[in-house]
Amino acid sequence: MRRVLVIPMVLAFVLAACGGGGNDGDATPSVARGTTTPSASATATRPEATGAAGSPTGGSGAPSATSRPGGTASPATVATATSRPATNVSTPRPIATATRQGGPTATARSNPTATQASDPTATPTVIVVITPGGDGDVELLNLGFGQVPDSEEVGYGFLVRNNSSSTLDFTEYDIVAYDQSGAPLEDDFGYIDMLLPGETRGIGGSIYVPEGATVGSVQVQITSGDPTTTDFPQPFTVSNVNYFGEEFFPTVTAAISSPYNEAVEDLDINAVLFDDAGNIIGGGYGLVAFVLPGQIAPADAPVASSTPPARVEVYVNASSLTEFASDNNDADGQQPTIVQAGWSMSPDGFDAGYGILVENPNSGLVVHYLRFQVTAYDDAGRIVALDASYIAGLFPNERFGIGGSIYPPEGVVIASMEMQVLASNFIAANISNPLSVSDVAYSDSLFGGAVTGTVTNNHSAELASIETHAIAFNANGDIIGGGWGFADEPAPAGGQTTAEVMISVAETPASVQLYATVGNLLDVLP
Question: Nearest to residue 338, comparing CAs of 352, 312, 357?
Answer: 357
If asked whether residues 353 and 299 sit together in one domain, one would say no
Same domain, 260 and 282: yes
Confidence of residue 170 (pLDDT cuts 50, 70, 90): very high
User: Can you tell me whether residue 522 is helix, strand or coil?
Assistant: helix
User: Model confidence at 390, in pLDDT bands (50, 70, 90)?
Assistant: very high
In a domain, 68, yes or no: no
Contact between residue 405 and residue 449 where contact means Cβ atoms under 8 Å apart: no
Shared domain for 290 and 251, answered yes or no, is yes
CATH number at residue 154: 2.60.40.10
Q: Is 317 helix (H, G, I), strand (E, B) or coil?
A: strand
Residue 190: name the closest of 163, 214, 158 by CA.
Answer: 158
Q: Same structural domain for residues 467 and 405?
A: yes
Alpha-carbon span 459 to 437, nearest angstrom:
14
Alpha-carbon gap, residue 258 to 262, rounded angstroms? 9
**27 and 250 Cβ atoms separated by less than 8 Å:** yes
**67 lies in some domain:** no
Q: Are residues 336 and 451 in the same domain?
A: yes
- Cα–Cα distance, 45 to 195 (Å, whole number): 55
Give the per-residue pLDDT at 34.
32
pLDDT tens-digit series, residues 470-489: 999 999 999 999 999 999 99
Which is nearest to 329 in space by CA: 70, 67, 40, 39?
Answer: 70
The residue out of 188, 203, 228 marking a domain boundary is: 228
H or E stretch covering 143: strand 138-147
Angle, CA of 218, 222 and 224, to the nearest 5°: 170
Asked whether residue 171 carries a pLDDT value surpassing 80, the answer given is: yes
Interval 196-238: pLDDT, tens = 999 999 999 999 999 999 999 999 999 999 999 999 999 999 9
The 3-state secondary structure of 324-364 reads EHHHHCCCCCCCCEEEEEEEEECCCCCCEEEEEEEECCCCC
**Same domain? 253 vs 199:** no
Q: What is the pLDDT of residue 411?
A: 86
pLDDT at 78: 53
Average pLDDT across the chain, whole number: 79
Least confident of 110-114, 135-139, 352-356, 448-452: 110-114
Q: In the listed set 325, 350, 376, which residue is the last one of a domain according to the structure? A: 325
- Interacting residues of 102 by C-beta distance below 8 A, sequence separation 6+: none
Give the Cα separation of 22 and 248 in Å (integer): 11
Q: How confident is the model over 10-49, as pLDDT tens digits?
A: 334 334 334 333 333 333 333 333 333 333 333 333 222 2
Among 428, 412, 399, 247, smallest CA distance to 337 is for 399
CA atoms within 13 A on the CB side of 367: 36
Q: What is the CATH number of the domain that holds 238?
A: 2.60.40
CA distances 283 to 153, 162, 171, 205, 415, Å, are 11, 20, 19, 5, 28
Round to whole Å and give the CA distance between 180 and 209.
13
Name beta bridge partners: 443.
450
Among 325, 395, 401, 328, smallest CA distance to 363 is for 395
| 190 & 257 share domain | no
What DSSP string describes 22-61?
-EETT-SPP-PPSP-----EEEEE-TT--PPPPPPPP---
Residue 438 shares a structural domain with residue 501? yes
CB-CB neighbours of 297 under 10 Å: 26
Measured between alpha carbons, how far is 5 from 192 in angstroms, rounded to an integer? 8
Helix, strand, or coil (residue 129): coil
Distance CA 71, CA 68 (A): 7
pLDDT of residue 8 exceeding 80: no
Distance from C-alpha of 189 to C-alpha of 176, rounded to nearest angstrom: 9
CB 269 within 8 A of CB 248: no
Q: What is the mean pLDDT of the segment spanning 512-525? A: 94
Instruction: Tell me the per-residue pLDDT of 259-300, one tens digit each, with 9 for 90 and over.
Output: 999 999 999 999 999 999 999 999 999 999 999 999 999 999
Could you tell me if 47 and 172 lie in one domain? no
Whether 361 maps to a domain, the answer reads: yes
Whether 379 and 462 share a structural domain: yes
Does residue 45 form part of some domain?
A: yes
Pair 272, 312: CB distance under 8 Å = yes
Neighbours of 163 (CB within 10 A): 15
Specify whether 383 is located in the same domain as 483.
yes
213 within some domain: yes
- 70 within a domain of the structure (yes/no): no
Q: CB-based burial of residue 143 (10 Å sphere; 0-12 exposed, 13-18 middle, 19+ buried)?
A: buried
Residue type, 274: F
Give per-residue pLDDT as tens, 321-331.
Answer: 999 998 888 88
Taken as a whole, the chain contains a residue count of 526
Compute CA 366 distance to the chain's CA centroid, rounded to the nearest angstrom.
Answer: 25
Which residues make beta-bridge pairs with 304? 283
Residue 410 confidence (pLDDT):
86
pLDDT (0 to 100) of residue 445:
75
Instruction: Tell me the Ramachandran region of residue 88: left when phi exceeds 0, alpha when psi lies from -120 to 50, beta otherwise.
Output: alpha
Whether 162 maps to a domain, the answer reads yes
Judge whether 18 lies within some domain: yes
Are the C-beta atoms of 157 and 309 separated by less than 8 Å? Answer: no
Q: How many domains does the chain have?
A: 3
* Residue 89 CA to its chain's centroid (Å): 24
211, 228, 245 — which closes off a domain?
A: 228
Whole domain around residue 446: which residue ranges? 41-55+76-90+329-523
Helix (H) or strand (E) holding 367, with range, is: strand 365-377
What whole-number distance in Å separates Cα of residue 333 and Cα of residue 226?
37
Strand arrangement of the beta sheet that strand 280-291 belongs to: 11-16, 311-324, 264-274, 280-291, 297-305, 251-257, 237-244
Residues 104 and 238 reside in one and the same domain: yes
Per-residue pLDDT tens over the stretch 70-95: 333 344 555 544 333 333 222 222 22
Q: What is the pLDDT of residue 357?
A: 98
